[in-house]
Amino acid sequence: MLSAVDPVTFGQNLILLIGALVLLGGALVLLVATWRGVKVLLALRAGRRARKAYLRAARRADGVCYPPAIEGTCTHCRRADRRIYFPSDSLEELCPRCYERYWREVEAGTLIPSGANRA
């Protein structure tokens, strides 16, 4: 029965099968490379978003870093907060709302910090 197989047809079918396997392998490599590329782009975008969120949380509206903070009570409004800032040019301990008002007044020149004359 095996002797009845035409060697030309068998060779053509074998070449066709090998070609199909090579094309499938190439398609698989292309698919994996595309998937990895998409994942890298998504990771880069997530990294940019995380950096922007960090900068938004760690910097004031004018781009300057916030001073050190701990939990405590604001000396101005007497509220307890998780973030109480200690401005370097003041003896006050300020909550985020009072600190926002404070640094804007200092920048505008309408407020002289209480510790500005410290030696």
- Do 106 and 85 lie in one domain? The reply is yes
- Do 54 and 68 lie in one domain? The reply is no
Q: Is 94 left (phi over 0), alpha (psi -120 to 50) or beta?
A: beta
- Do 111 and 70 lie in one domain? The reply is yes
Q: What are the pLDDT digits (tens) for 42-74?
A: 999 999 999 999 888 888 878 888 888 889 999
User: How far apart (Å, rounded) are the C-alpha atoms in residues 18 and 13?
Assistant: 9
- Do 69 and 116 lie in one domain? The reply is yes
**67-84 average pLDDT score:** 89
In-domain check, residue 84 = yes
Task: Tell me the residue range of the domain where 65 lies.
Answer: 61-119
Q: What are the pLDDT digits (tens) for 1-17?
A: 556 778 889 899 999 99
Q: Can you say whether the dihedral through the CA atoms of 99, 119, 63, 85 is positive or negative?
A: negative
- Do 66 and 119 lie in one domain? The reply is yes
By C-alpha distance, which of 98, 91, 99 is closest to 117?
91
- Do 91 and 112 lie in one domain? The reply is yes
Q: What percent of the chain has pLDDT over 70?
A: 90
- Judge whether 88 and 66 are in contact, CB under 8 Å: no
Total number of domains in the chain: 2
